[in-house]
Chains A and B, each alone.
Chain A
């Protein structure tokens, strides 16, 4: 069965600094996708970034990058130049190519300090 683990319930980062949110996964499927979503206090789920299991390069989207280490089964999210608006809950998730359901981690609550 697929599983996602986020071991950091809460993280603090100083404004303008970079921060890494950890995510490890477990699956026996050779084809899968890894996702990060942001949930601010207003409650909506915002898609941030996607990494496919066959992608050779790490995904990047603006200030977000995904540090994909396949052998270690990790997919850490790196946020560069943190902003106050980055304060939110961040979820790592994965899906396979059969049915498409997302399996979520427990989430990491990020607080950006001014």
Chain B
């Protein structure tokens, strides 16, 4: 069974379009994240939700809007797509660890290409 799943896996679209990426986890985790991996493979946090509540918003343009309908789902909607949005977007979820540090498990990634 897939632990953290994302749809779609690939997304090719034109500049200016609006698109959404969906994420679901069946691990029973409370916290979910969105990360962006750029063309140089650098990974950076975008958002984090804990039990449907936004807890991290890392200076991301407001064209990006996360939504968490329940603690098992975290979607990412992107308005007015730009060329620079082309990247791999990873969803992750975490379970509580020792001393409050949490191990994060990643989805397969969504490869977004904006033309």
Contacts and interface: CB of A to CB of B under 8 A. Distances in A.
Given A50-B103, A89-B41, A101-B58, A44 B109 contact: yes
Interface secondary structure of B, over-half rule: strand
B48 A43 contact: no
Contacts of A97: 99-101
Given A99-B48, A99-B55, A45 B109 contact: yes
Interface residues of B, number: 30
Interface of A: 31-33, 35, 37, 39, 43-47, 50, 52-55, 89, 91, 93, 95-97, 99-104, 106-107
B101 A101 contact: no
A39 B98 CA distance: 25
Interface of B: 31, 33, 35, 41-45, 48, 55-56, 58, 88, 90, 92, 94, 97-109, 111
